[in-house]
Amino acid sequence: MTDAVMPSAEMPPVERLPTEAESGLPTAGAALVRLEGVHKRFGRLHVLKGIDLAVGAGEKVSIIGPSGSGKTTLLRCVNYIERPSEGHVYINGQLLGEKAVGQAFVALDDRALARQRAEIGMVFQRFNLFPHLTVLQNIEIGPVKVLKTSPAEARTRALELLDKVGLAAKRDAYPEMLSGGQQQRVAIARALAMRPKLMLFDEATSALDPELVGEVLNVMAQLAAEGMTMIIVTHEMQFAEEVSDRVIFMDDGLIVEEAPPSHLFAAPSHPRTQAFLSAVLRKRQPR
């Protein structure tokens, strides 16, 4: 499945997700995101091996771990870009991507899934901007086509977001005219234009030159300070330590350890976490 983040023009307008009380489904208190026993297999490759996770509204959770540990796959399951092989995902108390029919679970059709996913913003490693549209058009197209927002309202919102990410002067530029950091900030603005309840970041700075990383992290830190619910897959340990309420260390498809950043980075309890952080911090020490 591709990393396309913008729905097509034919997708229906978004409907309000039911509240937890209205959904009639099990809830987990104030959890906005809940995963229960999530496995993901690609053929014989068992990538996720039974993930249980709850993320509260307004919580900032960073996921760290070695390459191949399942971090990105977990994030893609949260957004149902990848359908779990086993287990279930709930957003705001509502079962995501499927519905219960008796004792069975039946997949939702594409239109129903699109309505659910509209309230989840995701920013990928690659920017995925439409090259034939200007910066402003990239941001305003989603609300117009999917949310059925009026063009005037969508433009006003897009201009506000461009100002928020420090790119108001680039409104009429095309993506090829921007640096990587600028393109990623546009991608963040585009996701925010859909007014998501949840933002997912999949190594949003990994494709950037080192000197451009800070400008993207600053925008993400601002969102965190404003109370946005965020799940962040990152290799930026200092950033994870500074903005997260909780940090999760994954390895071999499992959550090995999770704790507040002050504890996990200063005194990790699991030997695998200790070894990973020791290696990562050693690489970052100046020679």
Task: For residue range 134-149, list pLDDT tens digits in order.
Answer: 999 999 999 999 889 9
Residue 166 has pLDDT above 80, yes or no: yes
Q: Using the 8-state DSSP alphabet, how is residue 169 labeled?
A: G
Residue 54 has pLDDT above 50, yes or no: yes
Q: List 88's β-bridge partners, or say none.
A: 36
Looking at residue 11, its amino acid is M
Determine the pLDDT at residue 37: 97
Instruction: Provide, rounded to the nearest whole percent, the portion of the chain with pLDDT above 90.
Output: 77
| Per-residue model confidence (pLDDT) at position 19 | 39
Cα(161)–Cα(157) distance, rounded to whole angstroms?
6
pTM of the model: 0.86
Residue 55, amino acid: V
Alpha helices (H) in 101-209, listed in sequence order: 110-117, 135-145, 151-164, 180-192
Look at residue 32 in the predicted model and tell me its pLDDT: 95
- CB neighbours of 147 closer than 8 A, spacing ≥ 6? 13, 14, 118, 194, 195
Residue 23 has pLDDT above 50, yes or no: no
pLDDT single digits (tens) 169-194: 999 999 999 999 999 999 999 999 99
User: Predicted confidence band at 211 (pLDDT cuts at 50, 70, 90)?
Assistant: confident
Q: What is the pLDDT of residues 115-125, one digit of tens each?
A: 888 889 999 98
| Tokens describing residue 85 | 């092989």
Tokens representing 134?
């200007």
pLDDT of residue 285: 54
229, 200 contact by CB (below 8 A): no
CB atoms within 10 A of CB 281: 12
Tokens 């095309």 belong to 174
**Nearest Cα to 127, choosing from 5, 1, 235, 215?**
5
Between CA 112 and CA 277 the distance in angstroms is: 41
- With cut-offs at 50, 70 and 90, classify the pLDDT of residue 283: low
pLDDT the model gives residue 126: 85
pLDDT in tens, 71-89: 999 999 999 999 999 999 9
